[in-house]
Structure formats: structure tokens, C-alpha cells
Structure 1
């Protein structure tokens, strides 16, 4: 099974999200203290880590179907649903699903959540089905990258990233980041999202950034483990972060 191969090389897998984050300045990363009005007319991405009650999957599927139809009326969409199969880094109960939903703006996001029809569906289907949930409302970072779109045949990674405080850590990571970004594409890693949460709900602490990406093959990731260029950069990477949760799973959407 492809996930068993990953377990044998956790150090390799957890390097992937480090390589492409936008840590140029702490003021860009620490968006939680910014005024929410800065998100006006900007795309918003809502990320939800969802824990379902036992035997409530069918009810929750009905919620996704009905709620998603209303979301589309507002110009939004559920862009990706990932079912985690393992937690490659961190200490956290594995969620049943991780949802990424996009909205044209924070204004649309708020209107959708206040829509009477959606509130009714949420109370009827989602509330009884969900055991726990953590939600991170996010904006796009200013990091420039080639955005690519995978499909349900791919293996996905989702990283919740927590940076160390201080400019010296930002500088250290920049040195790592600049070099690794020239290496990683050789091994078939594709990036879909780089977002920075600015508000959150739930028990999981709000991360500084959330990254989503997919892989051409797990073999390509394993090859990276023996790449001497990558290995020489790991110490700078390890000193840059305070904490992280790194999920690997499959997409159901």
C-alpha cells in the first residue's frame, strides 16, 4: 500500500510543504492580527477539519450535496475534499475529512453563512453529524507560484504551518526556501493552494499558513530522500518552524 512507503520516510515527506511557503516577512505571515476588512473583494478560502460521529457519514454526505448547491448560487464552490489516511508530522487526531471551499469575497462568505436556507440545512444535517470541527478562514498569500490542479487519482498533502517568531528565523528559512524551490519540481510535486488564515473557530490553534499539494508518485518523493542537495538544507528548515501538522490522503473531490 502506498501509504506504508510514506511511513518509512517521514523526514522526506515533511520537507515538501516547507519548500514553497511565503515567509518573506513576518508581517505577511502573521495575518491573524490584520484587520479583516483588508479581505474585501479578495478571494476567501475556508478550510475545515471535520470529525464525524459514528454512523453519520450518510447524513453528512447529504449536507455536502445540499449545502454545496446553495454555495454555488453565491459564486463559491467546494474546490477540494481530502480524506486523510495518515498524519506524517504532528500529534493530532486524524480528521475524517478536510474541506477547502472558496468564495469571491468575505462579503459573499458572510452572506452565504447567514442564508436562511443554508442555516436550515446546516442545522438539519451537519450539526447532528459532526463530532468536532476546526475552521480556518483564509486569504491568499502573496507568494507567486505555478498553480496546478490535480484530480481524484492523486495523493494529496495538507500542511498546517506554524512559524517561529523573529526575523532571524525568517531569514534562515528564506535561505532554505530559495534553494529548495529550484530542486523540488524535479520530483513531481504540484501545488494547488498557499493561504494564510486570519480567523478561526475550534480547538486546533490557528496556523500561520496552510498549503495543499499533490504528488505525481510516492516513488518520486522517496527519491528525494537520498538527494544530497536536499539533505544539506534540512538543518535550516528544521530551525525555522515552531510546529506543524502534515496530513497525507486521498481526494474525494
Structure 2
């Protein structure tokens, strides 16, 4: 695939892409520091990194089918499934699939997970099929107004973002925030999700934010990496991130 040949500058580009969500990140600082949030009547997005056992793909597909049908009873849906093809930044075992499921509220989320029918399906299909799973339950940030929706033909990026602590790092992002957001649309980068986890399951550290975005073309993204305006911004962001996992892949849903 062509985009697998263009990953050299993607990690650098990603941090610039992420800077356009700085205002959303700043608005959630109090939630992250206290570990609390009022999610009542707010949309919830569950992000799951799935690791499927060899020769258990059919069983897992059945879980998605049956579990998705139960999810719809609670007003939820599996809105996007990304199959990573490359881990462009960070060091971890690459998941087989990354699922994004949305729920109308935390109440609906909790009721779904306690549903006896779903528990039976999970025990019969998901647990035997998976060797590992990381789950991050998240709320929308106030950057939702910039959300766009892609389709299965697009190449997707999923970023798990860990910010350094301290106001100076937030200020560092703010300093070039507006510049970056003015440049990126020229190269066909679009954002689908900006969410902030408030609880997690599994051994992977809970990120500060999870971003999902898509590209009109890999050529456009590569051109953005050589743009002199963008290159001038690279040094400003280096100290702002504590950690970053950046997956590039295709959408199966």
C-alpha cells in the first residue's frame, strides 16, 4: 500500500495535527486531574483495542454481530472499526482492531454492560476469542463542532495522546495552535473524533485524549510534511508530549 511508504514524517505531522485540538484538551484539564466527570445525558464513546487469538476470527465476528444488535437496543452503535496496518509512533503490540462504540449516556453504557443477554454473548464469543483488550471509556470534548465524517475508502489515523504535565506545555501548544489549523485543511486532513477518557480497563495507561482522523490522500499528507510553514512548527511541540501511540489503518466499518 502506498501509504506504508510515507510514514517517515507522520509522527511529526501527527503532533501538529493534534495541536488543533488543544482548546478541547485544555477544557478537560479539571476532569483529568480529579478523575471525575458528570457524564449524565452526555454521549459516551468506548474505545477498545482488540487482540484476537489465531483461528478465532470467526468467533469474534459473531461476537460483533450479536453484541452490536444488543447495543442498538440501548440507543448505541459501533460507529467505526479501524484495522491498523502500521504503528507509526510508540512501542506496543499492534492491535488487530480498534473499535469505537457510542452510547447516548453513561446510564445507557452501564445498562448495556449489565444486560444478561450481552454478558452471555460476551462470555461465549468475546472472551474465548480475545487474548487481550484495552478499553477506554470517554466523553466528547468541546471540539465536536469541527467533527467531520469519513467513509471506508479513507485511510485513518488513531492517536492515543499523553501530555506532559504543566501549564507551560499547554501554552506551547496554544502558541502555534491557530497557525497549524489554518494550514492543515489545504492538505485534506479531517477530524472525526476528539474524546477524553475518564476510565479504563487493561494494563495500558489511560491516555489524556484519543483522536481519530482521516486523510483525503496520503500524497496530501506527505506534501504537508514538506511544507515550510509546517516544518517551522516542529520544534515547538517536541517537549509537549510525554507519550504517543499513533496507528494508521483502514476502516472495516
* TM-score when normalising by structure 2: 0.95
Q: How far off is 1:9 after superposition? A: 2.9
Change (3 A) 1:116 1:157: same
Q: Which runs of 5+ in 2 are unaligned?
A: none
User: What does residue 198 of structure 1 align with?
Assistant: 198
Q: Name the CA distance, whole Å, in 1 between partners of 2:210 and 2:31.
A: 12
Q: Name the CA distance, whole Å, in 2 between partners of 1:168 and 1:78.
A: 38
Contact 1:50/1:133, CA 8 A, preserved across alignment? yes
SS in 2 for 1:3: helix
SS in 1 for 2:205: coil
**Where does 1:207-222 land on structure 2 (aligned, <5 Å)?**
207-222=207-222
User: What does residue 178 of structure 1 align with?
Assistant: 178
Contact 2:17/2:180, CA 8 A, preserved across alignment? no
Q: How far off is 1:203 after superposition? A: 1.3
SS in 2 for 1:54: coil
Q: How far off is 1:26 after superposition? A: 4.8
Q: Name the CA distance, whole Å, in 2 between partners of 1:15 and 1:249.
A: 18
Q: Does 1:141 align with 2:144?
A: no
Q: How far off is 1:225 after superposition? A: 1.4
Q: Name the CA distance, whole Å, in 2 between partners of 1:184 and 1:153.
A: 20
Q: Which runs of 5+ in 1 are unaligned?
A: none
Q: Name the CA distance, whole Å, in 1 between partners of 2:41 and 2:7.
A: 42
Contact 1:162/1:209, CA 8 A, preserved across alignment? yes
User: What does residue 116 of structure 2 align with?
Assistant: 116
Contact 2:187/2:220, CA 8 A, preserved across alignment? yes
Q: How far off is 1:36 after superposition? A: 4.5
Q: How far off is 1:153 after superposition? A: 0.7
Q: Name the CA distance, whole Å, in 2 between partners of 1:59 and 1:161.
A: 31
Q: How far off is 1:20 after superposition? A: 2.2
Contact 1:53/1:129, CA 8 A, preserved across alignment? yes
Q: Name the CA distance, whole Å, in 2 between partners of 1:125 and 1:61.
A: 9
User: How many aligned positions are there?
Assistant: 253
Q: Name the CA distance, whole Å, in 2 between partners of 1:147 and 1:27.
A: 17
User: What does residue 21 of structure 1 align with?
Assistant: 21
Q: Deviations over 1:138-159 (max 9, x none)?
A: 0011225421111111100000
User: What does residue 161 of structure 1 align with?
Assistant: 161
Q: Deviations over 1:146-198 (max 9, x none)?
A: 21111111100000000010111100111122210111011001111000000
Contact 1:136/1:197, CA 8 A, preserved across alignment? yes
Q: Name the CA distance, whole Å, in 2 between partners of 1:242 and 1:11.
A: 14
RMSD: 1.7
Contact 2:21/2:194, CA 8 A, preserved across alignment? yes
Q: How far off is 1:221 after superposition? A: 0.5
SS in 2 for 1:190: strand
User: What does residue 64 of structure 2 align with?
Assistant: 64
Q: Name the CA distance, whole Å, in 2 between partners of 1:42 and 1:108.
A: 10
Contact 2:50/2:96, CA 8 A, preserved across alignment? yes
User: What does residue 85 of structure 1 align with?
Assistant: 85
